[in-house]
Amino acid sequence: MKLRFAPSPTGLIHVGNARQAIANALYARRHGGKFQLRIDDTDRERSRDEYVEALRTDLAWLGLGWDETFHQCDRLAHYDAAIARLKESGRLYPCFESEQELAAKREARIRMRKPPVYDRAMLRMTPEQRAQAEANGKVPYWRFRLSDRTVTWDDMVMGKSQVKLPSISDPVLVRADGTVLYTLASVVDDLETGITHILRGEDHLTNTGVQIDIAEALGARPGRFAFAHLPLLLDEAGGKLSKRFDGLSIRALRQDGVDPGAIVSYLARLGSADDPAPLSFDELAGSYDVRRVSRSAARFDMRQLLALNRRVLHQMPFAAIRDRLPEGATESFWLAVRGNVDMVSELRHWWDVVAGVIVPPVQDDQGAFLLQALSLLPAEPWDGETWKDWTGAVRAASGRSGKSLFHPLRVALTGEEKGPEMRDLLPLMGHERVAERLRIAAR
Ligand SMILES: Nc1ncnc2c1ncn2[C@@H]1O[C@H](COP(=O)(O)OP(=O)(O)OP(=O)(O)O)[C@@H](O)[C@H]1O
């Protein structure tokens, strides 16, 4: 068994693309198959090396390793061989119509209330007419003659699926400059590199009908591939995601400090019968079933992702996050703050609170109270009991309790209204820092 993720390097991958990559990787892991990363870079105008680099980095960051990888551009000779075979069997035929001619034909068909399907005029050309066109300096591009049938398959997500080939225009597979189009290159690679299962977005449904026909024209047996078409992921407003706007790119989520494990957990189960839960890749793979993915479009919801991110961080051991913590951060720091952060990027602030410099806000009318609290601050060493002992003494001396006791102290020491337990933070801050902040806040 072998699966593949085959992005075109035309932009930063977004959560929709990542959902497909994750589905393929989980399916492969679940069933002991291989996972291939194929770079679909035959469109030289839109493909960029920096996006190849970016997508490798993003997939690796998500923890999606691959067993093999290649660029379509390195396999041009294989596509040429397939093109030669299809020409020989008469399935590829040369065309000379210009864009304008085709547009005019389409309009005419629409006016006659006929479907705007290519009329195969070029298939009826005589050899003399072809020779004449070429003598006039025209260079042909090549269309694939689709079979006159309805292609059906049992889709693992969409169920019984079909594409009526007569209602589709014969696809162009070779441009006039001799370069191959994705539609053919993809089939050649899937056949020659032993792909068995194709999980991809439902934007490929019609393509699948066409590609099954091409695969069979190249000698593949019917049913050679198993297919699953996952619904497209929409943004929160129900709009289409695009590699051109990078708001929901994996890169942006990474820069915002979202944990890769949370992204994978979220996207693996979003729009399926299973609720997203903070699970490791292996745990997700253990129960992964693509048939449980819903047929309707799923919406990406940032709040749900952040809620999951919080749960992932909450249970994360120090060793797993050490590299992403601010320099010098200790295990006790992590254990103190992990239950209170939505994103890794917030850790910088909490590290400054316990080990750096923050400027606490001046609190009106609290000066005397804060100085009184300062005078009762115990000497070090401090531990998990110090906060309780200290505030107990402050309560007795000031007569305050509840919010009026704790709130001014928390704000003076952390600059925040809410946050991790003060009993955990206090020993990390140490006497000198605490005393200084009380003094500043009391001014
Ligand atoms: N919004 C989406 N939700 C889910 N899957 C998507 C979405 N957009 C693309 N995909 C899937 O991502 C995979 C990678 O495809 P591809 O790189 O062609 O993405 P694309 O975003 O459609 O890019 P391009 O605009 O360059 O064609 C395909 O399986 C495709 O079906």
Instruction: Please state the ipTM of this predicted complex.
Output: 0.93
**pLDDT tens over the chain, length 443 residues:** 999 999 999 999 999 999 999 999 999 999 999 999 999 999 989 999 999 999 999 999 999 999 999 999 999 999 999 999 999 999 999 999 999 999 999 999 999 999 899 999 999 999 899 999 999 999 999 999 999 999 999 999 999 999 999 999 999 999 999 999 999 999 999 999 999 999 999 999 999 999 999 999 999 999 999 999 999 999 988 888 887 766 799 999 998 889 999 999 999 999 999 999 999 999 999 999 999 999 999 999 999 999 999 999 999 999 999 999 999 999 999 999 999 998 888 999 999 999 999 988 888 899 999 999 999 999 999 999 999 999 999 999 999 999 999 999 999 999 999 999 999 999 999 999 999 999 999 98
Question: Measured in angstroms, how far is the CA atom of residue 243 from the centroid of ligand 1?
Answer: 8
Overall fold of domain 78-155+159-172 = Glutamyl-tRNA Synthetase; domain 3 (3.90.800)
CA of 367 to the centre of ligand 1 (A): 59
Q: List all residues 6 or more positions away from 7 whose beta carbon is below 8 Å from its beta carbon.
A: 13, 17, 21, 39, 40, 55
The answer, yes or no, to whether any atom of ligand 1 lies below 6 A from the CB of 116, is no
pLDDT at residue 234, as a whole number: 93
> Does the Cβ of 17 fall within 6 Å of ligand 1?
yes
The CATH H-level superfamily of 2-70+181-234 is: HUPs (3.40.50.620)
What is the rounded CA–CA span in Å between residue 158 and residue 230? 8
Residue 416 to residue 422: CA distance in whole angstroms: 11
pLDDT for position 244: 72
CATH fold of the domain at 367-442: Arc Repressor Mutant, subunit A (1.10.10)
Whether the CB-CB separation of 11 and 243 falls below 8 Å is answered with: yes
Measured in angstroms, how far is the CA atom of residue 182 from the centroid of ligand 1?
Answer: 13
Q: Give the CA-trace dihedral at 216, 220, 221, 225, to 10 degrees.
A: -100
Ligand 1 and 201: CB distance under 6 A: yes
pLDDT of amino acid 429: 97
Residue 364: the pLDDT is 85
Pairwise CA distance, residues 232 & 253, whole Å: 19
Mutate to test the pocket of ligand 1, among 10, 15, 17 (most ligand atoms within 8 A of CB): 17
Is 243 annotated in a binding site? The answer is yes
**Domain extents in the chain:** 2-70+181-234, 78-155+159-172, 367-442
What does the pLDDT read at residue 240?
Answer: 86
The finding on whether 348 has its CB within 6 A of some atom of ligand 1 is no
Q: Is the pTM of this model over 0.90?
A: no
- Domains 2-70+181-234 and 367-442 agree in fold: no
Q: pLDDT value at position 360?
A: 86
| pLDDT recorded at residue 272 | 93
